[in-house]
């Protein structure tokens, strides 16, 4: 019913809107109370302080309650996701769905109305729970508006407690650098957090921090609809700078015994007190009905339309000749540019590459030079960049982030997790991985990424073996939905030859995710090399071959989803030896071992990997030091094969 007013079009809040919103607010407060008391948990206090903010946003911004995923909608991000009861109550009031199932199924297994806001509910733009993420999401959404040539506005609602998180500062500065003036942040300043007053728990000059970073701050009474409306309108119309609206509010607003009591941050009103609370609001108490429905009421399931992954061309693969001196990261940079060129000018093609002050090393410089409008140099702000790039990737756009492994996967693991939960399609390219980072030393050695990203259900990790495979993998991942991390080392990687001496990963070769590649066929022992270590594996194979010992050599460039047929192939050998420059506890060797035994293949397993934090040094010296170079591996395998005392045993 607010359609004609949406977009904060009217100079002031029209009287009929104000009245309606005020009535909605009373009812919504009642619904917040019912929802949390029926569930026996949840966060009513902040829901009630943020309520007028939510009601104005969901009723007055440009979003169609009946088509809540239209591409031109305003994006409304709720960063303090624990205020889900307030969000659900406001969305229902604005006509997105019927409130009743939320009242009885909130926080129940199977209900879309989860404890923190999730995209299972129409109108929820982003799943949040960990604080301090929302503004970074807003940056990604505002970048999408610019790239897609749309004029939608992005709103980010936040709590005051979460202003303590550092990531928010990173996002603020990115918004200013990129002139993202179509973002409005609104901070619910109720002055309380779980442990008490924010001014006591962690004193902070919120306004000063935002202003220092270049934002304009408007302070309003967050329960005064007119003041809030005016601030939202000013922020939307200005366009010269992003605004933060600092909304002074009262936790638990509307129920006297809840007001300014931090215990209601994270606890529901007790059942016996609900009647009192509701009657203060003038709302009937139907708790008994709701409790009954909690047991047997229907739980809705909403269809959430996510954009289809863009229809793109992979471009023509590049083949590197057998004698070329090339590192995988350069092959990545070239493939990235070639992909962009192949799709440039295609209808609706949108793409962005994010960098954190390492373009020269991660080889995105050529892309940035040719497509400066699509290149986002974010400086040393990995946390916020990870989230912004993830947020963009949920839109109709190709979103690429390239960084060193230690920053792109290790430092920002949690951002990758939250992106994954949010159904992102991020293409993450990480260079300088493994001990191959060399002289930068242990703080920079990304040897743990597999233990990390294999703990994320949606991410697929690929470590290509050589520049040819890298080229094909890059095109593969850019052409399909989902989160992919393509992991590369730093140094020159030899081109792997096939039996006839031609490049192995070129010609007819087609990359298949999740499958091993037999490089050389031998017998007795199979050396399984993690993609980035295939060169060392190949060197070991060659040395043994020269001495008349013919082993098999297998390349595995992705090992989240080992295929039973491949494991079965390994099981044909007496001995499986795994070579990687990752942490030996959580890398390929462990995945192969667990996969073998689960599939009931019983063969000898030897793991070769990194058993401790490694020193700083030239990467080839490091491989030697760690026994992971071709010579050392060949020696080790020879010893293994001749050790009769290690004959296979089984307890079966």
Query: 443-472 mask for a second copy (x: CB under 8 A)?
Result: xx--xx--xx-xxxx---------------
From the CB of 46, what's the least distance to a second copy, in Å?
A: 13
Task: Give dist(CA 337, CA 333) in Å, integer.
Answer: 6
Residue 652 binds a second copy, judged by CB under 8 A: yes
Window contacting a second copy (CB under 8 A); options: 58-66, 388-396, 471-479, 643-651: 643-651
Q: What is the enclosing helix (H) or strand (E) of 604?
A: strand 604-610
Among 583, 608, 633, 637, binds a second copy (CB under 8 A): 583
Cβ closest to a second copy, residue 334 vs residue 607: 607
Stretch that binds a second copy, among 14-22, 156-164, 386-394, 494-502 (CB under 8 A): 156-164
Q: How far apart are CA 419 and CA 126, in angstroms?
A: 9
Other C-beta atoms lying within 10 Å of the C-beta of residue 501 = 8
Q: Is 613 in the site for a second copy (CB under 8 A)?
A: yes
80 vs 114: CA distance, rounded Å: 14
- Give the closest residue to 571 by CA, choosing from 537, 596, 588, 546: 596
- For tokens 């070991």, the residue is 540
Strands 427-431 and 154-159, bridge-based pairing: unpaired
* Residue 177 found at the interface with a second copy (CB under 8 A): yes
Comparing CB distances to a second copy, the nearer of 60 and 158 is 158
In this chain, which stretch among 12-20, 228-236, 518-526, 579-587 interacts with a second copy, using CB under 8 A?
A: 579-587
Pair 235, 184: CB distance under 8 Å: yes
**Which residues are bridge partners to 188 per DSSP?**
159, 247
Is 383 an interacting residue with respect to a second copy (CB under 8 A)?
A: yes
Q: Are 268 and 37 in contact (CB under 8 A)?
A: yes
628 and 640 Cβ atoms separated by less than 8 Å: no
CA–CA dist 570, 602 (Å, integer): 10
Q: How far, in Å, CA of 100 to CA of 103, rounded?
A: 5
Question: 31 or 364, CB closer to a second copy?
Answer: 364
- 601 near a second copy, judged by CB under 8 A: yes
194 binding a second copy? (CB under 8 A): yes
Which of 174, 278, 462, 539 is the binder for a second copy (CB under 8 A)?
174
Q: How far is the CB of 243 from a second copy (least distance, A)?
A: 17
Sheet of strand 243-248, all strands in order from the earlier edge strand to the far edge: 75-78, 154-159, 183-189, 243-248, 216-221
For residues 193 and 163, the answer to whether their CB atoms sit within 8 Å is: no
Could you tell me the two tokens for 641? Answer: 């094969």
Q: How far is the CB of 382 from a second copy (least distance, A)?
A: 8
Q: Which of residues 62-91 bind a second copy (CB under 8 A)?
A: 81
**Does residue number 360 form part of the binding site for a second copy (CB under 8 A)?**
yes
Which parts of 495-554 interact with a second copy (CB under 8 A)? Answer: none
Buried/exposed 115-150: b ≥16 CB within 10 Å, e otherwise = bbbbbebbbbbbbbbbbbbbbbbbbbbbbbbbbeee
- Residues numbered 11 to 70 that lie near a second copy (CB under 8 A) are 39, 41-42
**Contacts with 212 (C-beta within 8 Å, 6 or more apart), sequence order:** none
Q: Which of 515, 625, 627, 631 binds a second copy (CB under 8 A)?
A: 625
Interface residue with a second copy among 50, 62, 190, 193 (CB under 8 A) is 193
Stretch that binds a second copy, among 9-17, 68-76, 108-116, 247-255 (CB under 8 A): 108-116
Least separation in angstroms between CB 202 and a second copy: 3
Dist CA 412 CA 393 (whole Å): 16
Q: Considering only CA atoms, which of 163, 43, 57 is closest in space to residue 114?
A: 43
Considering the rule CB under 8 A, would residue 644 count as an interface residue with a second copy? no
Residue 633, both tokens: 């591996």
Q: Is 168 in the site for a second copy (CB under 8 A)?
A: yes
489 binds a second copy (CB under 8 A): no
Exactly one of 34, 75, 173, 248 binds a second copy (CB under 8 A); that residue is: 173
Helix/strand/coil for 497? strand
Q: Nearest approach, Cβ of 131 to a second copy (angstroms)?
A: 6
Exactly one of 303, 345, 644, 648 binds a second copy (CB under 8 A); which one?
Answer: 648
The nearer residue to a second copy, 55 or 139, going by C-beta atoms, is 139
Quick one: how far is CA 459 from the chain centroid?
9
Verify binding: residue 591, a second copy, rule CB under 8 A.
yes
Q: Does 131 engage in binding with a second copy (CB under 8 A)?
A: yes
Report CA torsion sign: 13, 19, 22, 24.
Answer: negative
From the list 9-17, 191-199, 274-282, 543-551, the region that binds a second copy by CB under 8 A is 191-199
**Residue owning tokens 């359609």:** 3
Mapping DSSP to helix (H, G, I), strand (E, B) and coil, where does residue 446 land?
Answer: strand
E strands along 370-437, which residues? 375-377, 398-404, 427-431
Which 395-434 positions form the footprint of a second copy (CB under 8 A)?
406-407, 410-414, 417-418, 420-421
Minimum CB distance to a second copy smaller for 92 or for 591 = 591
Residues 200-229 touching a second copy, rule: CB under 8 A, are 201-205, 208-209, 211-214
């Amino acid at each position: 019913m607010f359609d004609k007013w949406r977009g904060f079009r009217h100079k002031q809040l029209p009287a009929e809107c104000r009245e309606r919103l005020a009535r909605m607010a009373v009812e919504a407060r009642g619904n917040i109370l019912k929802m949390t008391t029926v569930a026996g948990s949840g966060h009513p206090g902040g829901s009630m302080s943020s309520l007028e903010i939510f009601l104005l946003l969901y009723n007055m911004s440009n979003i169609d309650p009946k088509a809540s995923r239209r591409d031109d909608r305003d994006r409304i991000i709720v960063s303090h996701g624990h205020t889900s009861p307030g969000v659900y109550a406001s969305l229902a009031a604005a006509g997105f769905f019927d409130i009743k199932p939320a009242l009885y199924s909130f926080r129940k297994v199977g209900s879309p109305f989860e404890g923190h806001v999730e995209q299972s509910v129409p109108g929820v733009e982003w799943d949040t729970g960990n604080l301090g993420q929302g503004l970074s999401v807003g940056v990604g959404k505002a970048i999408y508006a610019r790239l897609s040539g749309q004029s939608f506005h992005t709103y980010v609602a936040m709590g005051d407690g979460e202003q303590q998180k550092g990531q928010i500062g990173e996002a603020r500065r990115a918004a200013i650098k990129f002139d993202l003036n179509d973002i409005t942040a609104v901070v619910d300043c109720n002055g309380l957090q779980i442990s008490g007053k924010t001014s006591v728990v962690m004193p902070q000059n919120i306004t000063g921090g935002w202003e220092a970073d270049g934002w304009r701050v408007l302070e309003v009474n967050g329960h005064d609809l007119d003041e809030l409306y005016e601030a939202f309108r000013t922020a939307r119309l200005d366009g010269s700078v992003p605004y933060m609206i600092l909304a002074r509010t009262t936790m638990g607003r509307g129920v006297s015994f809840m007001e300014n009591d931090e215990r209601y941050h994270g606890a529901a009103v007790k059942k016996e007190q609900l009647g009192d609370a509701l009657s203060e609001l003038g709302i009937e108490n139907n708790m008994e009905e709701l409790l009954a429905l909690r047991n047997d009421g229907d739980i809705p399931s909403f269809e959430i339309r996510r954009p289809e992954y863009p229809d793109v061309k992979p471009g023509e693969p590049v083949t590197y000749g057998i004698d070329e001196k090339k590192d995988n990261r350069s092959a990545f940079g070239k493939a990235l540019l070639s992909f962009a060129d192949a799709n440039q000018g295609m209808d609706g093609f949108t793409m962005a590459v994010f960098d954190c002050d390492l373009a020269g090393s991660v080889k995105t410089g050529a892309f940035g030079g040719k497509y400066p409008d699509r290149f986002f140099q974010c400086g040393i702000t990995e946390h916020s960049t990870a989230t912004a790039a993830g947020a963009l990737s949920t839109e109709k756009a190709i979103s690429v982030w390239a960084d060193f492994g230690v920053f792109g996967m290790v430092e920002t693991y949690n951002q990758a997790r939250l992106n994954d939960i949010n159904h992102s399609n991020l293409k993450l390219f990480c260079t300088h991985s493994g001990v191959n980072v060399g002289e930068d030393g242990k703080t920079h050695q990304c040897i743990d990424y597999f233990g990390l990203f294999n703990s994320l259900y949606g991410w697929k990790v690929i470590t290509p073996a050589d520049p040819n495979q890298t080229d094909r993998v890059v095109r593969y991942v850019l052409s399909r939905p989902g989160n992919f991390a393509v992991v590369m080392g730093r140094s020159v990687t030899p081109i792997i030859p096939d039996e006839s001496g031609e490049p192995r990963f070129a010609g007819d070769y087609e990359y298949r995710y999740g499958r091993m590649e037999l490089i050389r066929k031998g017998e007795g022992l199979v050396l399984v090399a993690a993609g980035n270590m295939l060169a060392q594996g190949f060197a070991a194979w060659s040395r043994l071959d020269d001495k008349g010992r013919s082993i098999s050599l297998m390349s595995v460039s992705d090992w989240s989803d080992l295929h039973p047929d491949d494991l079965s192939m390994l099981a044909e050998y007496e001995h499986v030896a795994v070579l990687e420059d990752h942490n030996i506890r959580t890398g390929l060797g462990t995945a192969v071992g667990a996969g073998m035994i689960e599939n009931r293949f019983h063969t000898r397993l030897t793991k070769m990997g990194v058993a401790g934090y490694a020193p700083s040094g030239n990467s080839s010296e490091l491989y030697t030091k760690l026994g992971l170079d071709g010579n050392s591996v060949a020696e080790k395998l020879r010893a293994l094969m001749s050790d009769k005392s290690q004959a296979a045993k089984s307890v079966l």
